[in-house]
């Protein structure tokens, strides 16, 4: 199954109040494995960047001033997203900004049924723990040493690894198989593997072994084993 993990950076917290999306990073996954394909873009928000937001992601008004508007790259973005489920952390925030930008350029909204929220998954799997992306990276041993500031593409890449761990880890669906033929059959839906019953292995002692045992215990004084040797 194809999925897209994505993250956004913005000028603030409230699109209805005039805040805009300034960066988006998307990572493609197929059956919970990154394919290497990604989409990344910066956008000119046509407004000044508040210092509080710049402190979070480091994107300044000057840096964004020569970047394209969202509408100039919306076709590329929508083509990359396709109809895949969209995975994000605190996904209602990212969906809110994405759909706000789509509305501004006259595009259909992304249906909320496509939303997969890793924050909700984390709270269900680990109630009472910390659920920030940094905390989840630490929990699952995901290297976040390059995350000096928030960045949409880097955060999407980190989240993709966290998402795999939240949904079963790297061994999703892995079964123990006896040989390569079984491994191939395991990939065929509906296949029933029939194995021939194995003949029972002999487990009783041979006559020669019993004789050596009798000879050994005969050398022992008052050995309890004498009675068992005679009985056998």
Query: d(Cα 208, Cα 227) in Å, to the nearest integer?
Result: 19
Q: Is 155 assigned to a binding site?
A: yes
Say whether 57 counts as a known binding-site residue.
yes
Whether the CB-CB separation of 156 and 6 falls below 8 Å is answered with yes
Distance CA 175, CA 153 (A): 33
Distance of CA 121 to the CA centre of its chain: 11
211 is in an annotated binding site: no
Q: Which residues, 6 or more positions from 80, have their beta carbon under 8 angstroms from its beta carbon? A: 4, 26, 28, 37, 39
Q: Is 52 annotated as a binding residue?
A: yes
Residues with catalytic roles: 150
- Binding residue per annotation — 3? no
State how far the Cα of 90 lies from the Cα of 95, in Å rounded to an integer.
9
Is residue 71 within 8 A of residue 61, CB to CB? The reply is no
Distance CA 89, CA 116 (A): 8
* Burial category of 45 from C-beta neighbours within 10 Å (exposed 0-12, middle 13-18, buried 19 and up): buried
- Residue set of the binding site for substrate: 7, 9, 52, 57, 155
- Residue set of the binding site: 7, 9, 52, 57, 155
- Residue set of the binding site for a divalent metal cation: 7, 9, 155
């Amino acid at each position: 199954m194809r999925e897209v993990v994505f993250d956004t950076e913005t000028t603030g917290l409230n699109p209805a109040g005039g805040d805009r999306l300034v960066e988006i990073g998307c990572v493609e996954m197929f059956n919970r494995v990154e394919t290497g394909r990604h989409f990344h873009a910066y956008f000119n928000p046509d407004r000044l960047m508040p210092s509080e937001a710049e402190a979070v992601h480091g994107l300044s008004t000057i840096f964004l001033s020569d970047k394209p508007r969202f509408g100039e790259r919306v076709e590329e973005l929508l083509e990359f997203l396709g109809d895949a489920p969209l995975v994000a952390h605190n996904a209602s925030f990212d969906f809110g900004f994405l759909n706000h930008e789509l509305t501004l350029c006259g595009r259909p909204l992304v249906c909320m049924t496509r939303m997969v929220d890793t924050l909700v998954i984390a709270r269900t799997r680990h109630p009472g723990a910390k659920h920030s992306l940094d905390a989840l990276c630490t929990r699952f041993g995901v290297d976040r040493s390059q995350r000096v500031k928030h960045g949409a593409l880097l955060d999407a890449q980190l989240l993709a690894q966290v998402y795999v761990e939240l949904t079963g880890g790297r061994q999703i669906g892995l079964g123990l198989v006896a040989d390569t033929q079984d491994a191939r059959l395991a990939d065929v839906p509906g296949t029933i593997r029939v194995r021939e019953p194995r003949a029972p292995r002999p487990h009783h002692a041979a006559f020669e072994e019993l004789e050596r045992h009798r000879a050994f215990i005969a050398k022992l004084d008052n050995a309890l084993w004498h009675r068992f040797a005679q009985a056998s």
